[in-house]
């Protein structure tokens, strides 16, 4: 029933049949991936041409082999396969999350997971991932499957290849590199080595298959964050984007941004460290993923797909019999607040607008960051995901903070 309500509500936000704005009726980024692969197949310079007339290719050369199959099929077929893949990946992320939290894959868990797929599709990061045809859910699945892998056959220590798949994800899109810092902080050095080896392998393979493009990417393109978009873009859900949109400039103070980024990095990693040492690895990895989104120079809303495992963590706590009523109430309130802040709120423009590559007769913008009518709330509405990150990190620290011996003794008394 919950899934049916969620699917109905999705149609209320923007009808599935709405030309261009319907959930499955855009896939612009998928088309860019296909155009990049086709550019390579045609023997052109990947990082010099404007794809689809205006777009830059922003991923590393190692990504091209993964996109070639989609370039070889029609766009209509590619968007069906890609969208179906995202939905399957969401289900796998949710099932994997439940497994890491200690739940067996019973039919009840599978039904809940299927329902949650429909629910999380109502979140702006997930909806726009599907609508744009983005890659983020696949990368998240790769990282979670890799870093939650069970120990090797001897039962001792890290799985032999742990970290390598995360290195592959980082080789495609740089942001997963932050998991290397986390692994180092918690002392999982074998996984750090696996991540470094996997990442290095992607660079080497890139130079082997596309030497000139790889040289250009790793020397000239890697540091140009503006190729992804200008900082003052509505929907830039990073600390730098928050500063840019708050002050109305494309050149926010680098010093202020770096200070905020260092603070956010420290808070997020400390929360992840505490969660790891209290045995909640899923929460630890989720905190790392959200930290990466917060401190990155550019984070579109669809980068925050880490709200999916965060949702599963909340649902799991609500379902546990050993959770107190007060804690269940707090978790429920926090989960509802997160869902509302990240919900696919619609803003309709009933006039012609220019959207990326085309003029459209009207617009259906998705996300709370388009709701900026209340001036005194602008600090929040332009960066709601920062609030979700901050509350999640501080709540994790509050729950898992180290308890001093004196405090323990007092509690026993």
In a domain, 208, yes or no: yes
Report d(CA 349, CA 360) in Å as an integer: 10
Q: Of 86, 77, 112, nearest to 98 (Cα)? A: 112
DSSP annotation of 52: T
Angle at 64 between CA 25 and CA 294, to 5 degrees: 70
Cβ pair 299, 228 in contact under 8 A: no
- Residue 57, phi-psi category: left (phi > 0), alpha (psi -120 to 50), beta (remainder): beta
Q: Is residue 96 part of a domain?
A: no
- Strand partners for 349: 363
Q: How many independent structural domains does the chain possess?
A: 1
Q: Considering the domain boundaries, does residue 232 fall inside one?
A: no
Q: Specify if 84 maps to a domain.
A: no
| Predicted local distance difference test score (pLDDT) of residue 16 | 95
Query: Residue 224 — φ and ψ, nearest 5°?
Result: -95, 85
Phi, psi of 323 (to 5 degrees): -90, 130
Question: How far, CA to CA in Å, does 188 sit from each of 158, 159, 182, 194, 225?
Answer: 8, 11, 9, 10, 30
Q: Hey, how many other C-beta atoms are within 10 angstroms of the C-beta on 173?
A: 17
Residue pair 29/134 in contact by the 8 Å Cβ criterion: yes
Q: What confidence score (pLDDT) does residue 410 get?
A: 39
Q: Which residues contact 176 (CB under 8 A, 6 or more apart)?
A: 139, 143, 166, 169, 170, 292
Taking the C-alpha atoms of residue 84 and residue 24, their distance in angstroms, rounded to an integer, is: 10
Is the CB of residue 307 less than 8 Å from the CB of residue 388?
A: yes
The pLDDT, as a whole number, for residue 358 is 79
Q: Report mean pLDDT in 10-residue bins for the chain, 413 residues.
A: 93 94 94 95 91 88 96 96 98 98 94 97 98 97 93 58 94 95 96 96 95 90 68 92 93 95 98 97 98 95 97 95 89 96 95 83 94 88 97 96 55 42
CA distances from 52 to 17, 82, 356 (A): 24, 19, 11
Please tell me the predicted confidence (pLDDT) of residue 151: 62
3-class SS of residue 304: coil
Q: Would you give the distance in Å from CA 166 to the centre of its chain? A: 14
Give the per-residue pLDDT at 155: 47
Bridge pairing between strands 346-349 and 363-366: antiparallel
Q: Distance of alpha carbon 377 from its chain centroid, rounded?
A: 25
With the C-alpha atoms ordered 261, 223, 31, 382, is the resulting torsion angle positive or negative? Answer: positive
Torsion, Cα 120 166 184 190, to 10 degrees, reads 130
**Is residue 170, in this structure, part of any structural domain at all?**
yes
Q: Exposed, middle or buried, 408 (CB in 10 Å: 0-12/13-18/19+)?
A: exposed
Domain annotation covers residue 6: no
Q: What is the dihedral of CA 355, 360, 364, 366, to 10 degrees?
A: -20
CA atoms within 13 A on the CB side of 105: 10
d(CA 348, CA 133): 22
What pLDDT is stored for residue 220 in this prediction? 79
Residue 264 and residue 245: Cα distance in Å, rounded?
18
Answer yes or no: is 4 within a domain: no
Give me the domain span that covers residue 213. 159-223
Q: Closest by alpha carbon to 183, among 281, 48, 303?
A: 281
Which pLDDT score is estimated for 232? Answer: 87
Closest listed residue to residue 395, CA positions, set 236, 280, 260, 238: 280
Burial 267-305 (b: 16+ CB within 10 A, else e): bbbbbbbbbbeeebbbbbbbbbbbbbbbbbbbbbbbbbb
- Is 175 within the bounds of a domain? yes
> Which pLDDT score, from 0 to 100, does residue 144 have?
98
Q: Which residues contact 49 (CB under 8 A, 6 or more apart)?
A: 39
> Are the C-beta atoms of 157 and 173 separated by less than 8 Å?
no
């Amino acid at each position: 029933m919950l899934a049916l309500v969620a699917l109905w509500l999705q149609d209320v936000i923007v009808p599935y049949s709405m030309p261009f704005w319907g959930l499955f009726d855009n896939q612009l980024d998928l088309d860019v991936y296909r155009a990049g692969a086709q550019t390579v197949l045609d023997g052109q310079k990947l990082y010099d041409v404007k794809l689809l007339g205006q777009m830059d290719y922003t991923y590393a050369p190692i990504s091209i082999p993964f996109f070639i199959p989609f370039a070889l099929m029609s766009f209509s077929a590619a968007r069906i396969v890609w969208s179906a893949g995202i939905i399957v990946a969401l289900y796998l992320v949710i099932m994997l999350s439940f497994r890491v939290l200690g739940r067996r894959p019973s039919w009840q868990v599978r039904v809940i997971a299927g329902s949650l797929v429909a629910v999380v599709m109502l979140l702006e990061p997930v909806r726009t991932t599907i609508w744009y045809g983005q890659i983020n859910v696949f990368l998240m699945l790769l990282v979670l499957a890799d870093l939650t892998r069970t120990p090797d056959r001897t039962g001792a220590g890290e799985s032999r290849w742990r970290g390598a798949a995360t290195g592959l994800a980082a080789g495609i899109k740089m942001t997963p590199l932050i998991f290397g810092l986390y692994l180092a902080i918690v002392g999982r050095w074998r996984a750090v080595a696996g991540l470094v080896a996997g990442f290095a392998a992607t660079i080497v393979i890139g130079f082997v298959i596309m030497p000139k493009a790889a040289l250009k990417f790793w020397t000239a393109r890697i540091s140009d964050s503006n190729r992804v978009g200008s900082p003052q873009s509505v929907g830039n859900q990073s600390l730098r984007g928050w500063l840019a949109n708050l002050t109305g400039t494309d050149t926010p103070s680098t010093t202020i941004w770096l200070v905020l980024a260092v603070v956010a990095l420290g808070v997020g990693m400390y929360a992840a460290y505490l969660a790891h040492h209290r045995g909640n690895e899923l929460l630890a990895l989720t905190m790392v993923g959200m930290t990466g989104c917060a401190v990155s120079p550019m984070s579109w809303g669809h980068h925050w797909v880490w709200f999916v495992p965060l949702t599963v963590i909340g649902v799991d706590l609500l379902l546990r019999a050993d959770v107190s009523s007060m804690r269940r109430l707090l978790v429920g309130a926090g989960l509802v607040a997160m869902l509302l802040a990240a919900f696919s709120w619609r803003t309709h423009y009933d006039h012609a607008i220019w959207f990326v590559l085309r003029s459209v007769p009207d617009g259906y913008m998705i996300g709370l960051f388009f709701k900026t009518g209340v001036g005194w709330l602008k600090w929040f509405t332009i960066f709601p995901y920062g609030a979700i990150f901050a509350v999640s990190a501080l709540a994790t620290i509050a729950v898992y903070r180290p308890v001093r011996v004196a405090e323990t003794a007092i509690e026993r008394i």
